[in-house]
Amino acid sequence: MTQVERLPRDTGKLIPLVEPWFPPSYADAVRDQVLSGYLGPGRTTQEFTTALAHVVGSPRALATVSGTVALTVAAHAIGLRPGDEVLVPAYGVISTINAFASAGLRPRLVDIDRRTACLSAAGVAEALTPATRAVCFVNFSGYTGRNVADIAALCRQRGVPLVEDAAGALGHAHGGRAAGTFGDVGTYSFSVPKVLTTGQGGALVARDNATFDRAAAYIDHGDLEWRRTNLNRGIGTNLRFTDLQASLGLCQLRDLDARLERRRASYAAMRERLGATLFRVPGGEAPLHNIVLTNRPDDLVDALRQSAITAVRQYRTLSQHPAYMELAVRPFPNADYWTARAVYLPFGMAMTAADAARVADAVVGSGLPLDSLDQS
């Protein structure tokens, strides 16, 4: 479309920040699972993880209760112990840092690269010290590009394990390699805003079998054989997925291309109107979120509310949270830039191209200045 049609400023229907989207056939699959009588982790969970491993090109995948827990399990699987230092991006969702800090690890913040809101190889190289036991790269809003490939190479060279938090990047790839498979361990989230959601849920993939087995044993009481042997050789806990969730997840995995296409279509409708002021990620996929940056973020949120559109300011420089104030040992100018200016517009699977156009028109109609990130 070359001619951008202006839609009415307020159509009356509230556009929420995010809503999942399921065709009725998915409900039939969940109903069939319930009627089968198998609800706990069993054959459908196995089918789901096998399909997931296939999609991301990894030998095996392990499903667990959330993306946050998948990161904690990843830390355990690569041998991190309480007190160990992990580098994490200074800006973003609280889940990543909490996953490590709640296990007694010591997160250290590294500023993000302004263009991508991800860690850069230069930033990580500068931050690595002999005390660093792991690096966590977050694929911000699905970003899967050079930064993660370069950081994976750097970590290999320096002998530091890399955890890739690909929570929102399922289906994204760079150089033929799937998000989540660049590091020693990669994790995914199936929370409600994601392209694939099971309500709550997460998964993990690992480069080597021993790491994978440690993760698999940990989420099932520390031993992969204990139900057969009645002996537990390690300490673990119960963080397993359920067949009920897997039945819903499996439908979406089978439809993953179509779901990604649906997301691309709503993003394209917004991008057509907002151009380079709408955050993008490299490659052909849409970012998970629709983000614009402005020096008047609260005014933009208010203006959109007038048009029955829910937008929010979310995420911040992590050392601004009372729980992590002691990590403010140096300035994080790029994290602060994103904290001060990012507005998260409606996104997600239920959003149609028409809704996306209405949101973008309301952003343009607000007359507020928007930044353009140089993402060339």
Ligand X SMILES: Cc1ncc(COP(=O)(O)O)c(C=O)c1O
Window of 48-56, 65-73, 211-219, 365-373 that interacts with ligand X by CB under 6 A: 65-73
Q: Which is nearer to ligand X, 138 or 270 (CB)?
A: 138
DSSP for 239-264 reads -B--HHHHHHHHHHHHTHHHHHHHHH
Q: Which of 11/200 has CB closer to ligand X?
A: 200
Cα separation values, 329 from 7, 85, 97, 125, 290, Å: 48, 15, 16, 18, 31
Q: Which helix (H) or strand (E) holds 32?
A: helix 24-36
- Other CB atoms within a 10 A radius of the CB of residue 363 amount to 27
Q: Smallest distance, Å, CB 70 to ligand X?
A: 8
Q: Which of 45, 191, 317, 366 binds ligand X (CB under 6 A)?
A: 191
Give the Cα separation of 238 and 217 in Å (integer): 10
107 binds ligand X (CB under 6 A): no
- Residue 179 or 300 with smaller CB distance to ligand X: 179
Nearer to ligand X, 66 or 307 (CB): 66
Tokens of 113: 């690269």
For residue 87, the Cα-to-chain-centroid distance in whole angstroms is 17
Q: How far is CA 239 from the centre of its chain?
A: 19
Q: Which of residues 111-140 bind ligand X (CB under 6 A)?
A: 138
Element (H, E) at 213: helix 209-218
The β-bridge partners of 134 are: 86
Q: Interface mask (CB under 6 A) for ligand X, residues 160-179, using x and -?
A: -----x-xx-----------
Cβ at position 242, least distance to ligand X in Å: 15
Q: Closest separation between CB of residue 293 and ligand X, Å? A: 19
Per CB under 6 A, contacts with ligand X among 236-265 are none
Question: At 275, is the secondary structure helix, strand, or coil?
Answer: helix
96 binds ligand X (CB under 6 A): yes
Name which position in 145, 183, 202, 249 contacts ligand X (CB under 6 A): 202
Does 18 engage in binding with ligand X (CB under 6 A)?
no
Q: Do residues 319 and 331 make contact, with C-beta atoms less than 8 angstroms apart?
A: no
Minimum CB separation of residue 200 from ligand X in Å reads: 6
State the Cα–Cα distance between residues 252 and 188, nearest whole angstrom: 14
Size of the residue set binding ligand X (CB under 6 A): 13
Minimum distance between the CB of residue 361 and ligand X, rounded to whole angstroms? 28
CA distance 281 to 370: 18
User: Which residues from 66-95 bind ligand X, rule CB under 6 A?
Assistant: 66-68, 93, 95
State which residue has the least CB distance to ligand X: 67
Residue with Cβ nearer ligand X (288 or 357): 288
C-alpha distance from residue 39 to each of 45, 93, 247 (Å): 10, 31, 10
Calculate helix-pair angle for 353-365, 256-274, nearest 10 degrees.
20
The nearer residue to ligand X, 15 or 136, going by C-beta atoms, is: 136
Asked if residue 197 lies in contact with residue 252, where contact means CB atoms within 8 angstroms, the answer is: yes
User: Nearer to ligand X by C-beta: 33 or 66?
Assistant: 66
Give the integer Cα–Cα distance in Å for 302 and 308. Answer: 10
Nearer to ligand X, 169 or 309 (CB): 169
Q: Which stretch binds ligand X (CB under 6 A): 40-48, 61-69, 230-238, 348-356?
A: 61-69
In whole angstroms, the minimum distance from the beta carbon of 366 to ligand X comes to: 27
**Nearer Cβ to ligand X (120/366):** 120
Residues binding ligand X (CB under 6 A): 66-68, 93, 95-96, 138, 165, 167-168, 189, 191, 202
